[in-house]
Amino acid sequence: MAEGEDDELAYAYYAANEIEGPYDRKACSAAHGSRALSRYQPGHIKLATNMTMKAVGLKPQSRLGSWFGRVVWRLFDWRRSRMMKQAEAI
Residue 19 near residue 26 (C-beta atoms within 8 A): no
Residue 42 near residue 73 (C-beta atoms within 8 A): yes
Residue 42 near residue 70 (C-beta atoms within 8 A): no
- Over residues 54-69, the pLDDT tens digits come to 999 999 999 999 999 9
For CA atoms 71, 73, 76, 81, the dihedral sign is negative
The type of residue at 23 is: Y
Residue 23 near residue 30 (C-beta atoms within 8 A): no
Percent of the chain's residues with pLDDT above 70: 93
pLDDT of 16 strictly over 80:
yes
The type of residue at 10 is: A
Predicted TM-score (pTM) of this structure: 0.74
Better-predicted residue by pLDDT, 74 or 86: 74
Return the closest-CA partner of residue 12 out of 23, 21, 20, 22. 23
Kindly report the average pLDDT of the chain as a whole number. Answer: 89
